[in-house]
Structure 1
Amino acid sequence: MDVLALIIYGIVLFPNVESFIDFATIDIFLAFKHERKSLVLAIILADTYHSLTLRHERRGGMILCCLPILYLWFTSWMFKRGSQIEIKNKSEWAHSITNLSEKIISWYSQKQNIDEVVCQCGDFPNVPLLGTKGCVNYNPALAIRKLGYPIRSPPVKDSITPFMVYDMTKELDMLNKIRHSWDMVIKKGRELGKRNCNVEGSYQQWLSERVQHVKLPFRSPILIIEGTPIQEPMSQEEIEKLKEELAKFEK
């Protein structure tokens, strides 16, 4: 049964190379077998952040990694209850996203019931994530509102400085440092303040400046409206015939 489960993990989750099960899959299997903890969500989170950051740095490209999970999260948690999620085409989705407002977004769900937040790992000022494609850091200082706590001031620069590991075979020292940092997880709870999703202080000004720096909001796409074909003018006989039919209907 163990061999069967390991094969399924390797085929379904990470079919990278034929007849090969990568180490991420083995870690997931062992964590679930011995501690009943599934690391699948952590791997998906790391790969999704890595793909998004890579696409942003290269100014374009497709996101194929865990796209259904990303879409499910977006439609489930981004909008408040009652907001209608309709089937949209590419330009309509882009238009909706670029016109999102603060009031539409569902910042926090009471069902999550989060008491403590992972804010830092080891010597890293933020949270490094290991995935199957590479490594990227996650910055809780920018997501604290999404975790149900208020943002009172701009984050420290070091806590939001991004880094990426593109080739995991060439930066083994960095990977070992990241692994060891997860033995020293720093969490915060009450010191973050009372539970609310407000923004206070000078954070709004900092956010406006950051929006300009990272080139947000994106330019809204021009919605293409198909023109109505020009019809040829009707003859006088056709007009008189239509008038007669209309008179019959009215009677």
Structure 2
Amino acid sequence: MDYLRWSQRLMYLTNDDIAWYSSIYDNIEIIDSCGEFFTVHLLGTQGGINYNPTLARRQLGFAMKDKPNNTLLEGLFFQEGKDTQGLKARMTHAWKKVHRKGKSELGLKNYIALDPYTSWVKK
């Protein structure tokens, strides 16, 4: 295999050849959601957005068994001074009730993505 170019070597990689997550995250809890929202909010000086920890679980070593619920994929965004829905106040209030999940809720570490999830990603 030493004679192969790097691009050819990549073609032979399998799941077992790739470290999908760092073991330093084995015993942590993740912030799964905040307050009334299914996502986690990131507030900045010019506005706010959210991110979906469900999609980030694979990076922490948890299996992706199924496609995420569409409700969990809800995207939120506001710009400072243009917050007509009052998202800033709702997001700020949501940080007072942080929902965490640990190993007992998330299950065993297993970096494999099952077919329903991979089919969803391909679509």
TM-score range, shorter chain: 0.7 to 0.9
Higher relative contact order (Cα pairs below 8 Å, separated by 6+ residues): 2
Q: 1:160 to 1:102 in 2, by over 3 A?
A: farther
Is 2:88 the partner of 1:171?
no
Q: Structure 2: where are the runs of 5+ without partners? A: 1-12
Of 204, 214, 229 in structure 1, the residue corresponding to residue 118 of structure 2 is: 204
2:108 corresponding residue in structure 1: 194
Q: Which secondary structure does the structure 1 equivalent of 2:64 belong to? A: coil
Q: Which secondary structure does the structure 2 equivalent of 1:153 belong to? A: coil
1:85 corresponding residue in structure 2: none
Residue type of the alignment partner of 2:38: P
Identity of aligned residues (%): 33
**C-alpha distance in 1 between matches for 2:14 and 2:73:** 22
Residue type of the alignment partner of 2:110: N
Contact 1:117 1:147 in 2 (8 A): no
After TM superposition, the structure 1 stretch with the greater mean CA deviation from structure 2, 146-155 or 107-116, is 107-116
TM-score, normalised on structure 1?
0.39
Residues 211-250 of structure 1 correspond to what in structure 2 (within 5 A)?
A: none
1:181 corresponding residue in structure 2: 94
Deviation sequence 1:122-177 (CA, Å, 0-9, x none):
111111110223211111111110122111111110111212112x1232822111
Residues 147-162 of structure 1 correspond to what in structure 2 (within 5 A)?
A: 147-162=60-75
**C-alpha distance in 2 between matches for 1:135 and 1:102:** 39
Larger radius of gyration: 1
1:227 corresponding residue in structure 2: none
Q: Which secondary structure does the structure 2 equivalent of 1:118 belong to? A: strand
Deviation sequence 1:98-135 (CA, Å, 0-9, x none):
xxx88586431112344311111111111111022321
Higher strand share: 2
**C-alpha distance in 2 between matches for 1:102 and 1:140:** 26
Q: Structure 1: where are the runs of 5+ without partners? A: 1-100, 210-251
TM-score, normalised on structure 2?
0.76
